[in-house]
Structure 1
Amino acid sequence: MKMRLTDKDGEVRELTDADVKRMRPMSEVLPGDLQRTIGQRGKQRSPTKVKTSIRLSPEVIEHFKAEGEGWQRRIDQALKRYIREHGHG
Structure 2
Amino acid sequence: MNAKENAIASGWIDPDDAPELTDDFFAQADEYVGDKLIHRGRFQTKNKTQALTIRYDIDVIEAFKASGEGWQVRMNIALRDWLNSHVF
TM range (shorter): 0.5 to 0.7
Q: Which residue of 2 aligns with 1:63?
A: 63
Q: TM-score, normalised by structure 2?
A: 0.54
Percent identical: 34
- Structure label with greater radius of gyration: 2
Give the deviation of 1:47 after TM superposition.
2.0
**Cα shift readout 1:35-83 (whole Å, capped 9, x = no counterpart):** xx14367xx4512211111101100100000000011001100100110
Structure 2 residue runs without a partner (length 5+): 1-18
Structure 1 residue runs without a partner (length 5+): 1-16
**Cα shift readout 1:8-28 (whole Å, capped 9, x = no counterpart):** xxxxxxxxx7444xx8xx7xx
Runs of 4+ that moved beyond 4 A? none
Q: Which has the higher strand share?
A: 2
Q: How many residues align?
A: 63
Q: Which residue of 2 aligns with 1:75?
A: 75
Q: Alpha carbon RMSD of aligned pairs, Å?
A: 3.2
